């Protein structure tokens, strides 16, 4: 069966990465919840997608330039007053559920990794005793490796941007992944074919898809029988998976 991951807590259904989105996702028949983690200036871990505050909050500028005391006063757009959550708060929303935590370890503005961030995220999961139900992902292969060197999750995944897949080619993507000891790839849904899924699996790697946000993309990934995909429409994905069963 293909697992479904509610992307940013179901970003087309509820305000992304909000308590509202996570509490609603916790009630769904999904296997995973995806969310994004940045550091604050004072070393806390917060759940927000962008490296800057402008798009999804009433604040401005880089997330990592502010302390939690200031960030916690900002309102997430569309939530009716909710603030952003700490990583620990998201963990507690899902602790009573069987849903796997699928964390994306983010980088700072201009795609510069935050020093020590990946290791800190991994150690936070270890401290919260949820490593064995966590999947660590990043678009930066070095970030995935840094996290896993600090604490080993149930699974770790390199998310590959289409440009990277095109520029270095699938064979090099696979070689880099295996060379780094990473067991799984996540490719953008439009970059996946039956042949590519077969090639990745033949190399001994798991295969997932991302950005499956409409009925056509969801149908495609269900037909390809990938291991997992992320979707902003978990409701649609659940319905389409049920209809195929």
- The total of other beta-carbon atoms located within 10 Å of residue 5's CB is 29
Binding string, residues 25-44; x marks residues near Fe ion by CB under 5 A: -----------x--------
Binding string, residues 166-205; x marks residues near Fe ion by CB under 5 A: ----------------------------------------
Nearer to Fe ion, 66 or 230 (CB): 230
By CB under 5 A, is residue 227 in contact with Fe ion?
no
Q: Nearest to Fe ion by Cβ — which residue? A: 104
The H or E element that residue 156 is part of is: strand 155-160
By CB under 5 A, is residue 16 in contact with Fe ion?
no
Nearer to Fe ion, 159 or 182 (CB): 159
How far, CA to CA in Å, does 4 sit from each of 128, 142, 185, 193?
A: 24, 26, 15, 18
Q: Name the minimum Å distance from CB 104 to Fe ion.
A: 4
Q: Which of 22, 25, 40, 104 touches Fe ion by CB under 5 A?
A: 104
Query: DSSP string of 182-218?
Result: --EEEEEGGG--HHHHHHHHHTT-EEEEE---SHHHH
Q: Using CA atoms, how far apart are residues 112 and 140, in angstroms rounded to an integer?
A: 10
By CB under 5 A, name the binding residues for Fe ion.
36, 104
């Amino acid at each position: 069966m293909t697992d479904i991951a509610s992307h940013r807590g179901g970003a087309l259904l509820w305000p992304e990465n909000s308590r509202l989105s996570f509490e609603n996702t916790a009630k769904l028949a999904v296997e995973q919840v995806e969310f994004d983690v940045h550091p604050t200036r004072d070393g806390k871990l917060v759940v927000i997608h962008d490296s800057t505050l402008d798009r999804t909050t009433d604040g401005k500028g880089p997330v990592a330039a502010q302390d939690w005391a200031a960030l916690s006063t900002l309102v997430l757009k569309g939530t009716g007053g909710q603030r952003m959550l700490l990583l620990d708060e998201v963990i507690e929303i899902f602790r009573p559920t069987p849903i796997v935590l699928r964390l994306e370890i983010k980088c700072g503005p201009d795609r510069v990794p935050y020093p020590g961030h990946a290791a800190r995220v991994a150690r936070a999961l270890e401290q919260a005793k949820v490593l064995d139900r966590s999947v660590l992902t990043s678009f930066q292969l070095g970030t995935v490796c840094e996290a896993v060197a600090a604490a080993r999750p149930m699974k770790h995944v390199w998310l590959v941007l289409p440009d990277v897949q095109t520029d270095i080619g699938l064979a090099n993507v696979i070689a880099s992944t295996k060379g780094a000891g990473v067991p799984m790839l996540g490719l953008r849904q439009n970059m996946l074919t039956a042949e590519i899924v077969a090639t990745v699996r033949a190399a001994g790697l798991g295969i997932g898809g991302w950005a499956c946000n409409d009925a056509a993309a969801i149908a495609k990934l269900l037909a390809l029988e990938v291991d997992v995909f992320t979707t902003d429409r978990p409701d649609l994905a659940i319905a389409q998976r049920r209809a195929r069963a």
